[in-house]
Amino acid sequence: MQQPNVLFVSLDTLRADVAYSGRFPGVESLRARGVTCTQAISSAPLTPISHATVFTGLQPPGHGIRHLLREQLRPDVPTLAERLRSAGYRTGAVVSCPGLDKWYGLDRGFDFYDDEIPLLPDGRNPLTVGDVKMRGLALKRAPVVADRAARWVEEQDGPFFLFAHFFDAHWPYEPPEDVGVEVDNPYEGEVAFSDHHLSRLLRRIEELGHPLDSMLVVCFSDHGEDLAGWYPNDHSGELGHPYEEGHGCLLFDTTQHVPLVFAAPGLPSGAEVAAQVRLVDVMPTVLDLLGLEGTASDGESLEPLLRGRAHADRPAYCETYFPEERARAGDYPDLEPLHAIRLADGDGRTKVVWHRGSGRVEHYDLVADPHELDARVLVVGQDGGDAALPAPPE
């Protein structure tokens, strides 16, 4: 029996609350077909780091990409595309931003990897620019992603793994057209635009003879977006963190809580998992659902959760070294890297954030304070020295 085709859809920069608002037909069609993980947590608020976690099943210390503009994927780390290609899949990707350029090594294992994007308006190579907002001016728009991805599928006559990456929700929030979805702001207009072309891609895949009901589909975002006051849990700009610029420097749920949907033959349709899960769980879950041997991973298969056989929350690790990059650039010299653990236990949800360098440790009660506006400072000191607290992850 032929293995099911595999489709990964990355809706870059998509907040979980916006994704799950019920207004976007493409996302809703996938949710209706499969299982929505309502409490999925990303490992990092930057595109290359988060996607590396998805495609290796390792946290940033394991796969090696921890900064926006410094490291490449460790050469000894197996990728999902490599595993599927060795299992007989044809592998193709259409990506749409500098953060997924081949330079990072995330193309490893793909037979076809379309990372073509334009130069910045001033002629610079966007890969060399550390300003995440400026990098958003260099993108492959959603219609091109959908067209090129569909064209690649047309050429396949065996089992395939397609990765389609949409970047439109990223700054500068200038939706090219109204696609008939009610939105509250230009950011949501960009989400609607990319969702419209996601729907178009899904229809075309089915027209080519690949029913979605027979495929393994994973839809996710790498991180959310802080819109400086457009949403009640925003923190950037005049709200107190002017350096955030949408995402990258902070580890609030605004950017770390992301959409994650699995649809596959045998999984429930229209179901939800309320337990906390992580993007690091994606690769082991996919290998498990396909019956393939797993690899060393920091994640765990979600298969029991997806089938309703388990309900356990998983502790979620997040980090960002982007503040260090901003500080070295001279923009905000006092910024320092952050690490966080988000814990869930039934109805209780908490987060602990370590500020590396200053020793500051913050605690958030996510039930009493869901917008993370009231930090309780547990430790202030150069060494973070309180034996009662776990050491920040390395």
* Neighbour count for residue 121 (Cβ, 10 Å): 9
**In the block, which residue shows the tokens 């995330």?**
106
Alpha-carbon distance 60 to 82, whole Å?
19
Nearest to 224 by CA among 24, 34, 20: 20
- Assign 275 to helix, strand or coil: strand
Nearest to 163 by CA among 286, 69, 269: 286
Query: The pTM is what?
Result: 0.95
Q: Does residue 3 come out as left (phi exceeding 0), alpha (psi in the -120 to 50 range) or beta?
A: beta
What pLDDT score was predicted for residue 394? 54
Nearest to 109 by CA among 131, 84, 87, 133: 84
User: Which two structure tokens, joined as six digits, stand for 24?
Assistant: 């976007």
**Amino acid of residue 254:** T
What pLDDT score was predicted for residue 64? 97
Alpha-carbon distance 347 to 363, whole Å?
17
What pLDDT score was predicted for residue 138? 87
Alpha-carbon distance 63 to 193, whole Å?
32
CA atoms within 13 A on the CB side of 169: 31
pLDDT in tens, the chain (394 residues): 679 999 999 999 999 999 999 999 999 999 999 999 999 999 999 999 999 999 999 999 999 999 998 999 999 999 999 999 999 999 999 999 999 999 999 999 999 999 999 998 899 998 888 888 888 888 999 999 999 999 999 999 989 999 999 999 999 999 999 999 999 999 999 999 999 999 999 999 999 999 999 999 999 999 999 999 999 999 999 999 999 989 999 999 999 999 999 999 999 999 999 999 999 999 999 999 999 999 999 999 999 999 999 889 999 999 999 999 989 888 888 899 999 999 998 788 999 999 988 889 999 999 999 999 999 998 765 544 443 444 445 5
Alpha-carbon distance 102 to 112, whole Å?
11
What pLDDT score was predicted for residue 385? 43
Query: HEC states along 144-209?
Result: HHHHHHHHHHHCCCCCEEEEEEECCCCCCCCCCCCCCCCCCCHHHHHHHHHHHHHHHHHHHHHHCC
What pLDDT score was predicted for residue 388? 41
Whether the Cβ atoms of residue 222 and residue 10 lie closer than 8 Å to each other: yes
User: Which residues face 45 on adjacent strands?
Assistant: none
Alpha-carbon distance 37 to 278, whole Å?
9
Nearest to 325 by CA among 134, 98, 129, 138: 129
Nearest to 147 by CA among 90, 94, 106, 97: 94
Nearest to 246 by CA among 229, 260, 261: 229
Distances (CA, A) of 115 to 54, 55, 180, 283, 352: 18, 16, 29, 22, 36
**In the block, which residue shows the tokens 């690769």?**
283
What pLDDT score was predicted for residue 387? 36
- In sequence order, the 6+-apart residues with CB closer than 8 A to the CB of 82 are 108, 109
Nearest to 27 by CA among 138, 207, 166: 166
Whether the Cβ atoms of residue 166 and residue 145 lie closer than 8 Å to each other: yes
**In the block, which residue shows the tokens 């179901």?**
271
Which H or E element spans position 353? strand 348-355
What pLDDT score was predicted for residue 381? 58
What pLDDT score was predicted for residue 135? 85
